[in-house]
Amino acid sequence: MAKTILITGASSGIGASTAKLFLSRGWNVGLIARREDKLAIIANDHGNSLCVKCDVCQENQVKNAFQLMVDHFGAVDVLFNNAGIFTPQARIDQIDINDWQKSIDVNLTGMFLAAREAFRHMTKTGGRIINNGSISAHTPREGSAPYTSTKHAITGLTKTIALDGRDLNICCGQIDIGNAHTEMVANLSHANGVVETMAVSDAAEAVWNMAQLPLSTNILTMTIMANKMPFVGRG
């Protein structure tokens, strides 16, 4: 019987690439995002897909999306908790409170709501939650206080879920991705000069590797990055 993965933020970037990979390899894939038209293009009429318009910041929409997935596929085996935004870069004294709040709402509250709902559905059968962290959970860029703060928070959320899920056969891990070639990173490249990137499909493959593991094994943290990005060492 095919397994089912639910992917948040599946309309573009890493989420879209991951959805295409899992669909091509026979998994049932639930794609959720705010842009339903984009989801339909990515799913491309695959019979093993279900697209649901959902704002991860809205509790009732998240609950509804998960229930639709369970009703349609029977279960959610894996959640790729991927939805996130990067607000305009600025020094902390120049950051607008609205940009700060948007980051908290999507990157932290949205991930909490999706993880909580996945956990609830996995309590009887077990499952795996993969949170999309970031290199910024370890080493930030300048001018990224909102984004970096949320990604540090995701590390704490991941570890707590992993502890809460131990006795229930629910695994939780975090993938920290550095400079996959997405639209968001491309925008950073224009603003900051050349930014070394890797293929977004490589990030999707890493998610695949985490999702394939038996529930007796967990990758708590994985870092995958463009080899030439200045993350390790003094540069």
Give the DSSP per-residue string, the chain. Answer: ---EEEEESTTSHHHHHHHHHHHHTT-EEEEEES-HHHHHHHHTT-TTEEEEE--TT-HHHHHHHHHHHHHHHS---EEEE-----PPP--GGG--HHHHHHHIIIIIIIHHHHHHHHHHHHTTT-EEEEEE--GGGTSPPTT-HHHHHHHHHHHHHHHHHHHHHGGGTEEEEEEEEE-BS-HHHHHHHHHHS----B-HHHHHHHHHHHHHS-TT----EEEEE-TTSTTSS--
Question: Is 147 a residue of the active site?
Answer: yes
- Active-site residue identified among 22, 66, 73, 147: 147
Which residues are catalytically annotated? Answer: 147
